[in-house]
Amino acid sequence: MKKILAMLLLLPSLVFASEGGHPLDRAPDRSNDVAALQNGAKLFVNYCLNCHGAALMRYNRLRDIGLTEDQIKQNLLFTTDKVGDTMKVSMSSKDAKEWFGGEPPDLSVIARAKSSGAGSGADYIYTYLRTYYRDETRSTGWNNLVYPNVGMPHVLWELQGQRAAKFVDQKDPHDPAKVVHVFDKFEQLTPGTMKQAEFDAAMADLVGFMQYMSEPVRDTRIRLGVIVLLFLGVFTVAAWRMNAAYWKDIK
């Protein structure tokens, strides 16, 4: 309960601390693609769970996306964790503060926490994961367009390769006397193991899983909501006709 309360208190700071001004790309919908969700789960465990935890998600919930208990044990459990355990991170808070300057946030509901007027939480994460670039002025050697001066390094660089960001100077549309530094394009420095289209598809799978993780019962909630609305519609018509029949002989 304490973990849940702490995470809820942290949500506003997560949303407002990451406004970088870069436009967000729309994340592809993977909510009904079981294979994509399974691939996203694999990417999450291999690349995200080393530093970030998911304290509200249990491994056994992955059965909802078509994985058997044996598949979860063989492919997604690399420690002594049990299938019924939550997705904890082995890194200590002390090490996290020493290496990154702070403890990496829990990702259980990050896909909902990052939603803003600029786009959905899925749009934010999808764009964020795809806009890393080399920056030697940063201690990690990496920077990000969506979250400038981010403390997290580009853990997926081997898949995407290394890129440099090119900026151009333009007049500020709000004040012609000023010049603003505007992103122009990426320049590929070294190739990754994936082509850009393949990397984008993989990130869509990862984001899809993070969306599922933030609300595993989303499809059930929507289905029940439709059933309830249909019931209320039928009940309303029946009640209206019963009312008309009851009062028809009364003036």
Note the pLDDT tens digit of each residue in 205-249: 999 999 999 988 888 888 899 999 999 999 999 999 998 888 887
Closest CA to 127 of 25, 20, 197: 25
Where along the chain do its domains lie?
2-154+197-216, 222-251
Task: Read off the pLDDT of each residue in 188-211 and give the average, rounded to a whole number.
Answer: 97
* Rounded distance between C-alpha atoms, residue 194 and residue 130, angstroms: 13
> How confident is the model over 100-157, as pLDDT tens digits?
777 888 999 999 999 888 899 999 999 999 999 999 999 899 999 999 999 889 999 9
CATH label, 2-154+197-216, candidates 3.40.50.2300, 1.20.1070.10, 1.10.760.10, 1.10.3720.10: 1.10.760.10
Give the model's pLDDT for residue 80: 62
pTM: 0.80
Output the furthest CA–CA distance in the chain (Å, rounded): 86
| Total residues belonging to the chain | 251
pLDDT band, residue 17 (cuts 50/70/90): very low
Tokens representing 162 are 């290394």
